[in-house]
């Protein structure tokens, strides 16, 4: 498996890109700004267009030597030979995903409770996505937001495992989160990067803040 730096994890959302900019251009800017991981998360694309887009994003992430993770769709991840897949609690269970995907690929699992995190660790997740920490306009949330304390409670209940925290994270509250937790591997951000007028600058600022708190390979 590739060595992964979880420090700044971009999760894409094409609907958030400013009108004068392009989706792929925005991802490229984010890569130039130093994002360490990219997840292609497009909920409304049919399989064919999703695969077509995924190949384009993969070509970009390869240039920067950054792993590409596909949200939800194991079939798409396999088809394009992505580096990993990210599954939620209602997606294909981790055990089956691992059987299809093998041990050499990255599988991340979304967790909102201690129990979900413990199960994901037990079943061999490579990393956890913990959230939502705060409210966000990017995703309709069906579960409680965790707050900083909720994130810390989950981390305290599981053995050390790579993890990213997600939901409503910007520069200032991201700093507050990292200052007040131990064991967070990185921040996962959608609108704070995809909607930024200057995504490269936004990523540089986020990364230089994160690097003060997080040590990754
Ligand atoms: N999962 C939990 S919150 C969220 C996802 C995909 C969206 C986070 O988006 P943003 O814009 O970084 O708040
Ligand atoms: Mg999902």
212 C-alpha to ligand 2 centroid (Å) = 31
Per-residue pLDDT tens listing for the chain (217 residues) = 667 999 999 999 999 999 999 999 999 999 999 999 999 999 899 999 999 999 999 999 999 999 999 999 999 999 999 999 999 999 999 999 999 999 999 999 999 999 999 999 999 999 999 999 999 999 999 999 999 999 999 999 999 999 999 999 999 999 999 999 999 999 999 999 999 999 999 999 999 999 999 987 6
Q: Which ligand is nearest to the CA of 141?
A: 1
Determine the 3-state secondary structure of 173 from DSSP: helix
Mutation test residue for ligand 1: of 138, 170, 193, the one with most atoms within 8 Å of CB? 138
Question: Can you tell me the distance from the alpha carbon of 36 to that of 67, in angstroms, rounded to the nearest whole number?
Answer: 8
**3-class DSSP assignment, residue 178:** helix
CA-closest candidate to residue 69, choices 1, 141, 137, 161: 1
**pTM as predicted:** 0.97
- Known catalytic residues are 41, 110, 139
Torsion, Cα 34 29 208 126, to 10 degrees, reads: -40
Let me know: does 87 contact 72? Beta carbons within 8 Å: yes
Assess whether the C-beta atom of 108 lies below 6 angstroms from ligand 1.
Answer: no
Nearest partner of 157 among 211, 210, 192, 121, judged by Cα: 121
């Amino acid at each position: 498996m590739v060595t992964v730096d979880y420090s700044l994890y971009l999760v894409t959302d094409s609907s958030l890109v400013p009108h004068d900019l392009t989706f792929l251009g925005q991802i490229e800017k984010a890569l130039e700004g130093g994002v360490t991981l990219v997840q292609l998360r497009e909920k409304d694309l049919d399989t064919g267009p999703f695969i077509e887009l995924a190949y384009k994003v993969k070509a970009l992430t390869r240039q920067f030597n950054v792993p590409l993770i596909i949200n939800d769709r194991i079939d798409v991840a396999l088809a394009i030979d992505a580096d990993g897949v990210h599954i939620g609690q209602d997606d294909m269970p981790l055990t089956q995903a691992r059987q299809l995907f093998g041990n050499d690929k990255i599988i991340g699992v979304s967790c909102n409770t201690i129990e979900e995190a413990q199960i994901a660790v037990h079943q061999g997740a490579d990393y956890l996505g913990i959230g939502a920490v705060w409210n966000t306009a990017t995703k309709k949330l069906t579960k409680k937001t965790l707050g900083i304390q909720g994130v810390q409670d989950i981390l305290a209940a599981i053995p050390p495992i790579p993890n990213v925290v997600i939901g409503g994270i910007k520069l200032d509250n991201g700093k507050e989160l990292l200052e007040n937790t131990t064991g967070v591997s990185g921040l996962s951000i959608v609108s704070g990067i995809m909607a930024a007028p200057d995504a490269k600058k936004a990523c540089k600022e986020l990364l230089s803040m994160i690097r003060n708190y997080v040590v990754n390979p």
